[in-house]
Amino acid sequence: MFEFHSLRVAELNAEIGGGATSVTFELPADLIDRFAWHAGQHVTLRFVLEAQEQRRSYTVSNPPGAPLRITVKRESGGLVSNHIADALSVGDRIEVAPPIGRFALEPRRHARRTHYFFGAGSGITPLFAMVQAVLTDEPESVAHLIFGNRSADTILFRKELDQLVTQHPDRFTLRHALSAASLWSWFSPWRQGHVDAQAVKAAITQTPPVAQDVQYWICGPGAMNRDLSSGLNDLDVPADRIHMESFGAAQPADDGVQGCAASAVIRLQDGQHEISVQEGQNLLAAIRANGLTVPFSCQSGVCGACRAQLADGAVHMRSHMALAEGDIAAGHILTCQSLAQTKRLTLDFRS
Amino acid sequence: MSKMYHHLPVEAYTTQDWFDREQRLIFSRSWRYAGLAEDLPEPGHYLSVQAGVNNIFIVMGRDHRLRAFHNICRHRGTQLIRAVGKTQKALTCPYHDWTYDLEGNLISVPDEETEYPGGLDKSCLGLKPASVDIWRGMLFVHPEPDAPSLVEWFGAVEPLLGPHDPAKLVEYPEARQSYEIKANWKIVVENYIDVYHLSHLHSNTLHMYDHARAEYGWKGPHYHFWEPPAPGYAKDLEQNLPSPRVIPKPHVGAWVPMLFPGTGIGASEDSWNIFILTPLGPELTRVENRTKLADASAWEFSKQEWLSSGFWKSFGGPKYSGEDVAGKEDPMASGDFTAEDVYACEQQQKSLASPYLEIGPAATGESPITRHQRAVLDFMDLQARQMGAGDV
Ligand code: FES
Ligand code: FES
Ligand SMILES: [Fe+2]
């Protein structure tokens, strides 16, 4: 179930000189279970701004057990991010839907793993939660974070990360890459430039895995993710060890594929509905236009909230960032990215 | 009714049948030491190890992660690789040149079209995976691809193994050796964990430690042991250590655990040693020793040697001397505790075949021996049950 709850803002903190804002929510006792999250998952916020409903997904930037907090980077011209940075006050109520997402690290007490984290910019938010989850709840495992930023003053959670290094010198390493490092800064990063395939190779060679159950977690802009995953492929890293989420998702390219008009059977918990899909309309839009309620959030193929099982027919997905290869093979689709390719479709939302 | 040696029948130490069952139920079903982490320094390096009835090889991929596979060609079973080596990208079987990549996928079959006109699904003919991990600087393999983690296996005993970080120490190659003992592997283990014998067999070789104050016990099938330095040694300990410290002050003592099955460690203030047993037959066991010392300069070693020479000059000597010595090669006159142990093990094994053998009561300091016998029985029982009677 994907429902919104009104949560009170308990704390607001400006990060990196106002370039980002951390919002901590108060969770009433009866919602604590409903809002339990795994490190890396995100919540969806709903605002009405300029008379329009706006939904955005933000990663929970704290590990499970800590207060529910998101950290939102200010986008220039970004309607919601600027609203959060400028207009919110402690005590305000915001509509929040419970955490979801498959980019999630579930620590296991008896696991003995080596985790490599590659992040850039605000892509640190899920990784920050994951690193802490590993350090506290997977005591035999090691975490290596390679973190890319433009310059030293845009590094989110810098102090907190340094503290983690001090607390866990044997289990946590932190390396910074700066793409526009100032010559005059006293801060000397591990590397100049972006976190790219070269950086990945260098990092792994420098700190090769001791525990041999190795996992790779990547969170940055789409281009970085693609570069890193192909870099890891070149090193023969098996795909099932690579976990990825893209941040600041660029608008999915219009790849020219057209959707046809179709009629679709939509299976929901409460029964079966027959709807019509307009030519060129994505399935999520068609479902909503027909007055049905299904979960969704980012509408850009990133969050995975709108997934369904394609039981019959064929669709074209513009992007499927939020799905793993296995999901796709199993017939999962992101309805917000899907265009009908056959005149009849059957979608199942019940799992 | 078979004759008993405490909890085990004497045949457990002498017969091929028991040997085979232990190979199947213990050494083929547990984590097996395979070397030191530095034996595989770079991508492409590999080594193979016998783990009970399984031969397993480990290879480092380009991502510096280790992969383990059963060393069996999927064609007709030929062992793919020998001992140790380095490859670029692929492993080719010597028999018909089937070739596998470092992920174990079968990537090429010579004359595929003509030899297999009906087609060949190479994707079903990958090497069978096994498990590998690194723990305290040592490589371990397990024949099953989803073996329980080393944390589950060694986690409880780990805090009792001493503050050593073997990965930071450096091997002393001159101390590396391998030799055979004409005794069952359990006889050798029992000797290793026999607290009673320390003050007797080794009365003149290991008395720098205070055996009376030893602390020992068990975590599951793993034995742990620690003893403090004896007063005479402890008095000027920093000066008396023969080589630079490998653990920080104020830690002192000797840690001598025996991890199941047959992986002994002997670690002290200034060295870290492993003692790996491989059963070769019911009455033959191979021992492999390797030693790591401090990562210190030659100068620091000579300085420490010189500082400690006063203590060691007057320390120890042979257990037997004068009239008791039987010839030039008598191990009991060697002043070397390993020679003393080997001698004791072989002398004990010789008697096991005698109809007049009757084992006397176990002393308090021998409680580890009876406990190890239980560990062997329990492990075999558990595995037999897990495998189901049919497979045993
Ligand atoms: S709504 Fe986020 S992937 Fe479709
Ligand atoms: S047995 Fe290996 S190629 Fe034939
Ligand atoms: Fe001994």
What domains sit in chain B, N to C, each tagged with a CATH number?
32-146 (2.102.10.10), 154-381 (3.90.380.10)
Average pLDDT over residues A254-261: 78
In Å, the largest CA–CA distance within chain A is 65
Task: Mark whether A200 and A160 lie in a shared domain.
Answer: yes
CATH for A275: 3.10.20.30
CATH for A28: 2.40.30.10
Distance of CA B330 to the CA centre of its chain: 27
- The C-alpha of B36 sits at a distance from chain A's nearest C-alpha, in angstroms, of 12
- Final residue in a domain of this structure, among A100, A133, A165: A100
Q: Find residues 167-186 of chain B whose CB sits inside 8 Å of chain A.
A: 167
Task: Mark whether A208 and A281 lie in a shared domain.
Answer: no
Predicted confidence (pLDDT) at residue A250 exceeds the cutoff of 50: no
Predicted confidence (pLDDT) at residue B316 exceeds the cutoff of 90: no
CATH for A174: 3.40.50.80
**CA A165 – CA A185 distance, rounded (Å):** 21
The protein residues having their C-beta less than 5 angstroms from ligand 3 (an ion) are B 341
For residue A253, tell me if it sits in a domain. no
**Ligand closest to CA B80:** 2
Predicted confidence (pLDDT) at residue A111 exceeds the cutoff of 60: yes
Contact A212 B149 (CB under 8 A): no
Q: Residue B329 has what pLDDT?
A: 81
- What mean pLDDT value characterizes chain B? 93
Task: Mark whether A137 and A236 lie in a shared domain.
Answer: yes
Give just the sign of the alpha carbon dihedral B373, B375, B378, B382: negative
The residue contributing the CA closest to ligand 2 atom 1 is B76
Among A154, A155, A165, A100, which residue's Cα sits nearest to residue A132?
A165
For residue A79, tell me if it sits in a domain. yes
Q: Residue A180 has what pLDDT?
A: 85
**CA A243 – CA A232 distance, rounded (Å):** 11
Better pLDDT: A52 or B33: B33
CB pairs under 8 A between A and B: 46
Q: Which two tokens stand for residue A341?
A: 């390719």
Model confidence pLDDT, tens digit, residues B216-246: 999 999 999 999 999 999 999 999 999 999 9
Q: Provide the β-strand partners of residue B276.
A: B263, B288
Cβ–Cβ < 8 Å for A178, A152: yes
Ligand 1 center–CA A319 separation, angstroms: 10
The neighbour count for residue A330, using CB atoms within 10 Å, is: 11
Per residue, the 3-state secondary structure of B90-142, as one string, reads EEECCCCCCEEECCCCEEECCCHHHHCCCCCCHHHCCCCEEEEEEECCEEEEE
Q: Which two tokens stand for residue B285?
A: 């066991």
Give just the sign of the alpha carbon dihedral A282, A287, A289, A294: negative
For residue A53, tell me if it sits in a domain. yes
Which chain A residues have a beta carbon less than 8 Å from that of B102? 236
Preferred mutation among B64, B69, B100, B154 to probe A, highest tally of A CBs within 10 A: B64
Residue range of the domain that includes A204: 113-246
% of chain A residues with pLDDT over 70:
95
Distance of CA A100 to the CA centre of its chain: 10
- One DSSP character per residue, B362-391 reads PPGGGHHHHHHHHHHHHHHHHHHHHH-GGG
Q: Residue A251 has what pLDDT?
A: 41
Model confidence pLDDT, tens digit, residues B167-209: 999 999 999 999 999 999 999 999 999 999 998 888 888 889 9
Say which amino acid occupies A179.
S
Is pTM beyond 0.80 here?
A: yes
% of chain B residues with pLDDT over 90:
85
Task: Mark whether A146 and A67 lie in a shared domain.
Answer: no
- The C-alpha of B150 sits at a distance from chain A's nearest C-alpha, in angstroms, of 8
Q: Residue B389 has what pLDDT?
A: 57
Task: Mark whether A172 and A93 lie in a shared domain.
Answer: no
Q: Find residues 58-97 of chain B whose CB sits inside 8 Å of chain A.
A: 61-66
Among A134, A122, A118, which residue's Cα sits nearest to residue A216?
A118
Task: Mark whether A167 and A278 lie in a shared domain.
Answer: no
Predicted confidence (pLDDT) at residue B392 exceeds the cutoff of 60: no
Average pLDDT over residues B8-23: 97
In testing the pocket of ligand 1, which one of A282, A293, A306 has its CB within 8 Å of the most ligand atoms?
Answer: A306
For residue A272, tell me if it sits in a domain. yes
Q: Residue A86 has what pLDDT?
A: 93
Say which amino acid occupies A176.
H
Helical segments of chain A, H only: 79-86, 124-137, 158-167, 197-206, 222-234, 283-289, 325-329
Model confidence pLDDT, tens digit, residues A187-222: 888 999 999 999 999 999 999 999 999 999 999 988
Better pLDDT: A182 or A14: A14
The distance in angstroms from the start CA to the end CA of chain A is 10
* Residue in B closest to A138 by C-alpha: B151
Predicted confidence (pLDDT) at residue A252 exceeds the cutoff of 60: no
In testing the pocket of ligand 2, which one of B81, B91, B92, B96 has its CB within 8 Å of the most ligand atoms?
Answer: B96
* CB of B78 closer than 6 angstroms to any ligand 2 atom: yes
- Final residue in a domain of this structure, among A79, A100, A121: A100
Q: Which two tokens stand for residue B356?
A: 């007049």
Ligand 1 center–CA B228 separation, angstroms: 64
Predicted confidence (pLDDT) at residue A139 exceeds the cutoff of 50: yes
Among A221, A205, A81, which residue's Cα sits nearest to residue A148?
A221
Say which amino acid occupies B150.
L
CA of A26: how far to CAs of A6, A30, A34, in Å?
10, 12, 13
For residue A206, tell me if it sits in a domain. yes
Task: Mark whether A327 and A268 lie in a shared domain.
Answer: yes
Tally of domains in chain A: 3
Among A106, A205, A173, which residue's Cα sits nearest to residue B65?
A205
Preferred mutation among A108, A109, A112 to probe B, highest tally of B CBs within 10 A: A112
- Final residue in a domain of this structure, among A70, A100, A130: A100
CA of B243: how far to CAs of A107, A280, B303, B306, in Å?
42, 78, 8, 9
Predicted confidence (pLDDT) at residue A280 exceeds the cutoff of 60: yes
Q: Which two tokens stand for residue B378?
A: 């329990």
**Ligand closest to CA A57:** 1
Average pLDDT over residues A262-287: 93
